[in-house]
Amino acid sequence: MNTFKESLSDHTKPEALQSVVRLLTDNTLALKVRLDRSLDIILKKIGARRGSVMLKSSDENSLRVEASTNHNIIGLVQEIYPESISGYVYYNSTPLLIENINQHDKFRPRKGRSSSYKTASLLCVPLQGAQKNTIGVINCSDRDDDSPFTSEDFQVLQDYASWISPLVENSCLMDRLAEEKERYKALVRELELKQRELLITYTERTELVQMVVHDFKSPLSAVISNLDLLTYMGVSREQDNVLKTARNGASKLFEMIDEFLEIARLDHWQEENTCRIGPVELLPIVQQVIEEARPTTSSKGLSISLGKAGKVTVMADSTLLSHLFSNLISNAVKYTCEGGNIIIWWETLETRRAGDRYSRIVKIAVQDNGPGIPDNLKQKIFDRFIRAERDKGIQGTGIGLFICNRIVTMLEGHIWVEDAPGGGSLFCVTMYSPD
> What's the confidence (pLDDT) of residue 343?
93
Q: Is the pLDDT of residue 8 over 50?
A: no
Q: What is the pLDDT of residues 85-119, one digit of tens each?
A: 999 999 999 999 998 888 888 888 776 565 666 77
Q: Is the pLDDT of residue 19 over 80?
A: no
Closest CA to 344 of 307, 369, 372: 307
Q: Is the pLDDT of residue 434 over 70?
A: yes
Q: Is the pLDDT of residue 54 over 60?
A: yes
Mean pLDDT of the 340-354 span: 88
* Homologous superfamily of the 2-184 domain (CATH): GAF domain (3.30.450.40)
Q: Is the pLDDT of residue 23 over 50?
A: yes
Q: Is the pLDDT of residue 3 over 60?
A: no
Taking phi first (over 0 means left), then psi (-120 to 50 degrees means alpha), and beta for anything else, what does residue 64 get? beta
Arch. (CATH architecture) of 276-433: 2-Layer Sandwich (3.30)
Q: What is the pLDDT of residues 141-166, one digit of tens each?
A: 988 888 899 998 998 888 888 877 88
Q: Is the pLDDT of residue 308 over 80?
A: yes
370 in Cβ contact with 425 (< 8 Å): yes
Q: What percent of the chain has pLDDT over 70?
A: 83
Estimate the crossing angle of helix 318-335 against helix 400-410, to 10 degrees: 150
> What's the confidence (pLDDT) of residue 204?
65
Beta bridge partners of 224: none
What is the residue-averaged pLDDT of the chain?
81
Confidence of residue 435 (pLDDT cuts 50, 70, 90): low
Sequence-separated (6 or more) residues with CB below 8 Å from residue 222:
none
> What's the confidence (pLDDT) of residue 384?
64
268 in Cβ contact with 274 (< 8 Å): yes
Mean pLDDT of the 40-57 span: 89
Q: Is the pLDDT of residue 10 over 50?
A: no
**117 or 393: which leads in pLDDT:** 117
Q: What is the pLDDT of residues 235-252, one digit of tens each?
A: 777 787 788 888 777 777
Which of the given ranges, 14-28, 163-177, 327-341, has the highest pLDDT on average? 327-341
Mapping DSSP onto H, E and C, the string for the chain reads CHHHHHHHHHHHHHHHHHHHHHHHCCCCCCHHHHHHHHHHHHHHHHCEEEEEEEEECCCCCEEEEEEECCHHHCCCEEECCCCCHHHHHHHHCCCEEECCHHHCCCCCCCCCCCCCCCCCCEEEEEEECCCCCEEEEEEEEEECCCCCCCHHHHHHHHHHHHHHHHHHHHHHHHHHHHHHHHHHHHHHHHHHHHHHHHHHHHHHHHHHHHHHHHHHHHHHHHHHHHHHHHHHHCCCHHHHHHHHHHHHHHHHHHHHHHHHHHHHHHHHHHHHCCCCCEEEEHHHHHHHHHHHHHHHHHHCCCEEEECCCCCCEEEECHHHHHHHHHHHHHHHHHHCCCCCEEEEEEEEEECCCCCCCCCEEEEEEEEECCCCCCHHHCCHHHCCCCCCHHHCCCCCCCCHHHHHHHHHHHCCCEEEEEECCCCCEEEEEEEEECC
Pairing of strands 134-143, 48-56: antiparallel
Mean pLDDT of the 225-233 span: 79
> What's the confidence (pLDDT) of residue 274?
60
Q: How far apart are the C-alpha atoms of 28 and 24, rounded to whole Å?
A: 10
Q: In what order do the strands lie in the sheet with 425-433?
A: 303-306, 341-350, 360-368, 425-433, 414-419
> What's the confidence (pLDDT) of residue 112?
55
Q: Is the dihedral of CA 96, 98, 104, 107 positive or negative?
A: positive
**347 or 236: which leads in pLDDT:** 347
> What's the confidence (pLDDT) of residue 9?
41
Confidence of residue 363 (pLDDT cuts 50, 70, 90): very high
Q: How far apart are the C-alpha atoms of 307 and 342, rounded to whole Å?
A: 10
Which of the given ranges, 231-245, 307-321, 373-387, 396-410, has the highest pLDDT on average? 307-321
> What's the confidence (pLDDT) of residue 206?
64
Confidence of residue 5 (pLDDT cuts 50, 70, 90): very low
**31 or 428: which leads in pLDDT:** 428
Q: Is the pLDDT of residue 275 over 70?
A: no
Return the number of other C-beta atoms located less than 10 Å from residue 102's C-beta: 12
**7 or 164: which leads in pLDDT:** 164
Domain-wise residue ranges, the chain: 2-184, 276-433
Closest CA to 304 of 254, 351, 367: 367
Q: How far apart are the C-alpha atoms of 33 and 20, rounded to whole Å?
A: 12
> What's the confidence (pLDDT) of residue 4?
33
Mean pLDDT of the 171-192 span: 85
> What's the confidence (pLDDT) of residue 292?
92
Mean pLDDT of the 398-415 span: 86
